[in-house]
């Protein structure tokens, strides 16, 4: 029987910069009170997402504090461990655009698919794919919660499944499975995905 590794991709809880619609990127902005509540609430859908009576095995996260603190809250709520802080799943580096809100200063930096001095979308997606493939190779058959960032999750899922998903909400659950037969998308941004639209072979 093929070995399937299941990933719950969870965006961190809200920060003040999220609430102010500032580009956050690799800047280390902490959770605010709303975000801490969202991190705790994320335990509920994760606890309900069982497979053959199996619980989640462990949590990994980006090292940025908003993701690390979300991961710690989830792990405590599920009574499992955070085993890795993975630099490869840090948020996209937006360069000079970080900290900016919509306006002339931000527009002056805009280029197709990003901003001047920002990391490319392709590079972000590849980082995300490489991280999931490495985890699947190291822990085949595991059920792993991956706490990361909205743009990284969105671009990774879009690249794997050749779709155009929109923004990922704070603390929303996206579930993907990796097996020798390919990838399968179960949930996207907290919503079920139609089976016929959710599979793709390994590239």
pLDDT of residue 169: 98
Distance from C-alpha of 62 to C-alpha of 90, rounded to nearest angstrom = 5
Looking up residue 155, the CATH number of its domain turns out to be: 3.40.50.1240
91 is catalytic: yes
Q: Average model confidence (pLDDT) for the chain? A: 93
Distances (CA, A) of 114 to 103, 119, 121, 183: 15, 8, 7, 27
pLDDT digits (tens, 9 = 90+) for 66-121: 999 999 999 999 999 999 999 999 999 999 999 999 999 999 999 998 999 999 99
* Residue 104 within any structural domain of the chain: no
187 is catalytic: no
Beta-sheet strands, E only, within 12-134 = 58-61, 82-85, 110-111, 114-115
Phi, psi of 141 (to 5 degrees): 85, 0
Q: pLDDT-derived band of residue 196, with 50, 70 and 90 as boundaries?
A: very low
Whether residue 127 is annotated as binding a ligand: the answer is no
User: Containing domain of residue 71, as a range?
Assistant: 5-22+30-94+120-200
**Has 14 been labeled as part of a binding site?**
yes
pLDDT digits (tens, 9 = 90+) for 160-195: 999 999 999 999 999 999 999 899 999 999 998 865
Percentage of the residues of the chain whose pLDDT score is greater than 90: 88
Would you say 142 and 57 are in contact if contact means Cβ atoms under 8 Å apart? yes
51 versus 15: the higher-pLDDT residue is 15
Number of folded domains that form the chain? 1
Model confidence at 203, pLDDT cuts 50, 70, 90, reads very low
Dist CA 67 CA 78 (whole Å) = 16
Would 49 be classed as within a structural domain?
yes
Structural domain contains residue 151: yes
C-alpha distance across the termini of the chain, in Å: 21
Q: Within a domain: residue 39? A: yes
pLDDT at residue 136 in the model = 97
- Whether residue 161 contacts residue 198, with contact meaning beta carbons closer than 8 Å, is answered with yes
Q: What is the pLDDT of residue 2?
A: 58
Q: How many residues does the chain have?
A: 203
Classify residue 110: in a domain, yes or no: no
Determine if residue 177 is labeled as part of a ligand binding site.
no
The radius of gyration of the chain from alpha carbons, rounded to an integer in Å, stands at 16
The answer to whether the CB of 58 falls within 8 A of the CB of 35 is no
Asked whether residue 200 carries a pLDDT value surpassing 70, the answer given is no
Instruction: Give the HSE-up count for residue 86: Cα atoms under 13 Å, Cβ half-sphere.
Output: 24
State the CB neighbour count (10 A cutoff) for residue 95. Answer: 16
* C-alpha to C-alpha distance for 137 and 157, rounded to whole angstroms: 18
Annotated catalytic residue, options 84, 91, 119, 187: 91
Residue 150 included in any domain: yes
| Structural domain includes residue 162 | yes
């Amino acid at each position: 029987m093929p070995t399937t590794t299941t990933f719950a991709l969870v965006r961190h809880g809200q920060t003040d910069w999220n609430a102010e619609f500032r580009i956050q990127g690799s800047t280390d902005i902490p959770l605010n009170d709303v975000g801490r509540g969202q991190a705790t609430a994320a335990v509920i859908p994760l606890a309900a997402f069982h497979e053959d009576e199996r619980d989640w095995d462990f949590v990994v996260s980006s090292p940025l504090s908003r993701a690390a603190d979300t991961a710690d809250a989830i792990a405590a709520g599920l009574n499992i461990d955070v085993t890795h802080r993975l630099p490869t799943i840090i948020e996209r580096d937006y360069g000079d655009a970080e900290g900016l809100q919509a306006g002339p200063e931000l527009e002056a930096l805009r280029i197709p698919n990003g901003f001047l001095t920002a990391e490319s979308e392709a590079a972000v997606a590849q980082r995300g794919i490489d991280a999931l493939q490495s985890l699947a190779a190291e822990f085949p058959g595991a059920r792993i919660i991956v706490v990361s960032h909205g743009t990284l999750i969105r671009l990774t899922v879009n690249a794997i499944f050749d779709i155009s998903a929109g923004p990922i909400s704070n603390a929303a659950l996206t579930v993907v499975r990796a097996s020798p037969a390919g990838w399968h998308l179960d949930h996207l941004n907290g919503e079920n995905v139609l089976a016929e639209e959710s599979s793709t072979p390994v590239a």
